Chain A
C-alpha cells in the first residue's frame, strides 16, 4: 500500500475504469454473484441520477445510485427480501453506465439485483411474472406468429383481443403490435442460396474492388429477432451492403440476444439463449469471422452483458469480436468516401429525424449516423437530442409503465416534430416502435439508407 500514498513519490493513479474489477470469479453466474465490492468505486456524485430517464419523470423511482452502489452496499449477501422492488421500474437503458465517471458497474448491479428479485421475491404465479416472461420471450411469440404472419398481425391488433390482453396480462392496448413479415429474413436467406450465394457475391465484389478474390473478409450476422420476424428489409440491407464491400456473410444458428430478459430479471432464460448464441458465434470467431449485429441492443448484450453476467466458454473472445453493423464498416472501409460519391434517389432522399438509442450511446456510437450521412447531399440527418425514447424494449409495453414511457419519450417526440420531413431513423427496433407510435413517422435503419446509396 505504502507506495501508493506516500507523499514523496506522487504517482497519479490511472483513472478507475473498473476494467480489472471482475466479480465473476466468485460465482459461475452473476445471478448469485456478490457485487458489493463494486460499490467501492462510487463516490456518490449523483451524475448517474441526473441521466436516468426514468428518475426524471417518475418521482417514486429512487434512481441508479440507490439501485446500484447504495443498494448493493446495504444488502446482505445471503438474505431474503433485501432487493427493493423498484428495480423493476428500471428500464435497463444503461445510460447510468455511461454517465458514471468512476467506473461503477451499474447496469451489472441492476441486472443482477433484478435477477435476484425475480428469482427470490417475485411470485411465480403472479400475472406480472407471466406477463414479463411472455414479453421477454418475444422470440417465441414471434416464431409462432411467423407461421401465420397475416393472421397474427391481424389477431394481435384485433381490438377485443387487445382489451383482454390489457385486462388480464397488463399489456398496454395503446400500442399497435408490429406487423409480422410474410417472409422472415432467414427464409429469404435460404431461398437466396445462403452462404454459398453470399460467397459468390462477395467474390464478385472483390474483383470489382480490385481486392484479392480469395480474401479473408467474412462476418457472422447476428440478426436478432426483430429483423428476422418483423423487419427483414434491415437484414437484407445488411447482407447486400456487406457483400458490396466484399464480405462473405454467414447467418449462424441463434436465439434471442437476451436483452428483454435481462430487463425483466429473467436471467436463467437469458442464459439458455446466450449459451446457444455464444457457442455458435465462438466457433465462427475461432475461424476468423467477426460477429456483426444490426440491432444496438443485441451488440450490447454480446459485448457487455454476456461477459458481465455469464461464464460461458468462449464468451470473452466473442465479446471482443462483436461489432455493430455500421460501426464495423466505418472501421474497415472507406464509407465516407463512397458516400461522398454516391447519389440517392426516390423515397429515401429525405430529411431524417435521427434518434440515437441508449444502447448505441453506451457503445460510443451515438454520432455515427449523423457524421456519416453528412456526406450525402440529398439527405439530411438531424440528431433529435440525447434523450431516451422511453420504450426500452418491453418496458413501454407494460400497461403500468406506459405513461412513464410516453413521458420520457415526450422530449424526443417534440424534437422529431420540429424537423422537416416525416421520416425517422434509428438502429434500435424498439426505439423505432416508440418513434413511430409517438409521431406517426416512418422509421428506417441506417443500413437501409446505406443500401439505397451504395448498392445499385
Chain B
C-alpha cells in the first residue's frame, strides 16, 4: 500500500474508540481526538448494563436482536470488562400479565434465551427482592465496565499504530469546497499523554476522511461544516449504592417507565434511570426529585434500597437520533437504534460521516459498519476482526489465582485486581517493589495505580477510571492524597497539586446529590480530615506569591535506634506514661 488513508475520528466514547480499533486493525492510519478523558461523554455516564436485548424485545426488536448478538461477542472479546450476572424481568402483582407474555414472546422472537421463574425461585436467586413479586423472566443480561472497555479499545488501536489524543477539542472542520479535509484542534496540554500545566496549542490535522462520533455533541460538529444533525439529547439519572443489594440485573417488567432497573456493578449497585429531553448536553439541571424517584420506585422491587447507603448520583445524556420525518414527542418513543449519516449522500458534503444513536452494547457493531463504509470510500478490502480478536486484557486468563503467593495480596484485593486487569495481571502486579493498597475501598494497589499513570499521564481522573481508585464508599476521602503522591518523582509539585485538586473536585461533584445518612457522615469526616491534615479549608500554597519552599520545613527528629523505655503503671494508662 502506498500510504494508508488517514482517518480522523472525533469523540473518545465507546463509539469512537471502537471505530479507532477497527480501522487501525484494518491497516488505516487513525487519529482519535477527544476533548476530555476517554469516556468523558455519555459513555462515562451510562448504566453499565450489557443488554441481553430483553429491554427492547417488545418495543424495538431490531435493536434487541443486535443486542443479543453483541452481548455474545463482548463476553468473548472483552471478558475482563464484563460480568455475566444474568438478569431478571420482575413482575409485580399490579404489572400487566399481557405485557409479561408479550415480553416472553418478544425474547423468543429475537433469539434471546428467556425462561420464566416463579416468585420464590426469583427470591432464592435474589433474597432481597420484594416478597410479593409474582414471577420473573430470566435473561442473559450482564454488567459491563465502560471505562475499562474503552481504554482497552484505545490501547488496542494504539498497538495498531493509531494516535490517541485526549484533552484535544476539535474547534473547527477544515472544509475545502464541498469536502471536509481535516480538523482544527485545541490541545489542552502538549500532544500525547495529558500532563497538567504543560503548554497546549492548536493544531491543524489533515485527514482523508473524518468520522464524527461525538454522540450528543454530533450536531455541533455538523454545524462546523454547515450540516444539520438532529440529535435530541435526553438526560437520565443514576444513583450508586454503596454495596450490591442484588447480584443479578433486576428490571421491572412493564412497558416503559422511569426507574425500572438495578445493575450490580463491581462493588456497587446502580439504580436508574429517567428520560428527559434537554437542550444542551453539557448544561442541564441535575434535580433532586430525579434521585428520589429512582430510589422510591425501585424500592418496590428491592425494599431494602429505601434505607441503603447511596454514595453518589450522576446524569448522562442519550444521544438519541430520529430521522426528521418521525417526530416523536416523548423521548422514550425514540428508537435506540443507530444511524450512519453519510454527509455526501445526505448533504453533498464529501469526506465525513456522522454516527449517532445506538447503545454502548452495540458499539462494536456500529464500529464495524462505519469502518466498512470508510473502507469502501478508499477501496480498501480488509476484513473486520474486532469480533474475534480479544481486547488487551481479555486474552486467556483465570481470576482464580493464589493471590498471596503470586502477588503478595490479600485474597479479596487480589481477586478484584485480577478481575480488573484480566490477562495483564501478571505484567502489572508481579513486582519486587513494595505494593501497598492505595485505595482500600476498591482494593487498588500501588502497582495498578502506577500502571495507570504510565498509561494516562498526570491526570488522576483518568487513573481513577482505569483502576476504580477513589470510587468506593469514602469517595476518595482517604485515598486522593495517596493517589496524588504516586505522581511524585515523575511530576513536580504544581502538577501534582493541580491533579489532586481536580480529582477531589470531581469526587465531590457526584456526592452532592447523595448527601444524607451515612454518606453525609462520610462527607463530614472527609471534610474534617482534609481540613485538619491537608489544610484544605485554607491552603497557603494557593496564596499569591512565591511557591512554598517545602525543603525549608523541619521533617521531624531523626529516629534513634533505642526505643523509648516504658514504665509500667497501674492506672489504666495504655502505654505506661
Contact = CB atoms under 8 A, between A and B. Distances in A.
Contact of A43 (B296, B415, B518): B518
A78 B248 CA distance: 12
Contacts of B215: none
B242 interface: yes
Given A1-B292, A74-B416, A85-B411, A385 B518 contact: no
B411 A44 contact: no
B306 interface: yes
Contacts of A39: 242-243, 473
Contact of A102 (B412, B516, B521): B521
B371 interface: no
Q: Give the most central of B288, B412, B416: most A CB within 10 Å.
A: B412
A5 interface: yes
Contacts of A42: 473
A383 B574 CA distance: 12
A382 interface: yes
A39 B568 CA distance: 38
A418 B516 contact: no
A164 interface: no
B411 A81 contact: yes
A125 to B, nearest CB: 19
A86 B403 CA distance: 13
B516 A5 contact: yes
Nearest to A20: B307
B308 A40 contact: yes
Contact of A418 (B296, B525, B569): B569
Given A1-B291, A37-B304, A81-B415, A418 B410 contact: no
Contacts of A5: 515-517, 520
A37 B306 CA distance: 13
Interface residues of B, number: 52
Nearest to B529: A45
B243 A82 contact: no
B472 interface: yes
Contacts of A16: 518, 521
Contacts of B440: 44, 65-66, 70
A79 B267 CA distance: 14
Given A16-B518, A70-B440, A411 B574 contact: yes
A91 interface: no
B260 to A, nearest CB: 18
Contacts of B306: 1
Interface string A65-95: 1100011111111111111111000000000
Interface string A378-419: 000011111100000000000000000000000100110111
Contacts of A36: 243-244
Contacts of A415: 568-570
Interface string B21-50: 000000000000000000000000000000
Contacts of B292: 1-2
Contacts of A386: 572, 574
B570 A385 contact: yes
Contacts of B516: 1, 4-5
B412 A43 contact: no
B128 interface: yes
A117 to B, nearest CB: 10
Given A83-B411, A382-B570, A384-B570, A73 B295 contact: no
Contacts of B404: 85
A26 B128 contact: yes
Nearest to A385: B572
B473 A80 contact: no
Contact of A2 (B288, B525, B574): B288
A13 interface: yes
A410 to B, nearest CB: 9
A34 interface: yes
A74 B445 CA distance: 14
B308 A74 contact: no
Nearest to B568: A414
Nearest to A46: B478
A383 B243 contact: no
**Interface bracket on A:** 35 or more
Interface in B516-551: 516-518, 520-522, 525
Contacts of A34: 127
B245 interface: yes
B372 interface: no
B140 interface: no
Q: Give the most central of B128, B441, B474: most A CB within 10 Å.
A: B441
A43 B572 contact: no
A41 interface: yes
A27 interface: yes
A62 interface: yes
Contacts of A72: 243
Interface string B282-312: 0000001101100110000000101011000
B443 interface: yes
Nearest to A353: B570
B573 interface: yes
Contacts of A81: 400, 411, 415
A81 B416 CA distance: 12
A39 to B, nearest CB: 6
A201 to B, nearest CB: 39
A386 to B, nearest CB: 6
B413 interface: yes
Q: Give the most central of A36, A65, A70, A74: most B CB within 10 Å.
A: A74
A417 B567 CA distance: 11
B243 A40 contact: yes
B145 interface: no
Interface string B409-445: 0111101100000000000000000000000111100
Q: Give the most central of B442, B572, B576: most A CB within 10 Å.
A: B572
Given A13-B517, A43-B474, A82 B411 contact: yes
Contacts of B520: 5
Interface in A5-36: 5, 13, 16, 26-27, 34, 36
B247 interface: yes
B357 interface: no
Contacts of B267: 73-74
Contacts of B416: 74
Contacts of B295: 1
Nearest to A417: B568
A268 to B, nearest CB: 21
Interface of B: 127-128, 242-245, 247, 267, 288-289, 291-292, 295-296, 304, 306, 308-309, 400, 404, 410-413, 415-416, 440-443, 472-474, 477-478, 515-518, 520-522, 525, 566, 568-574, 576
Given A73-B472, A353-B570, 12 more contacts: A26-B127, A36-B243, A37-B308, A40-B473, A40-B518, A42-B473, A44-B441, A44-B522, A70-B440, A70-B443, A386-B574, A418-B568
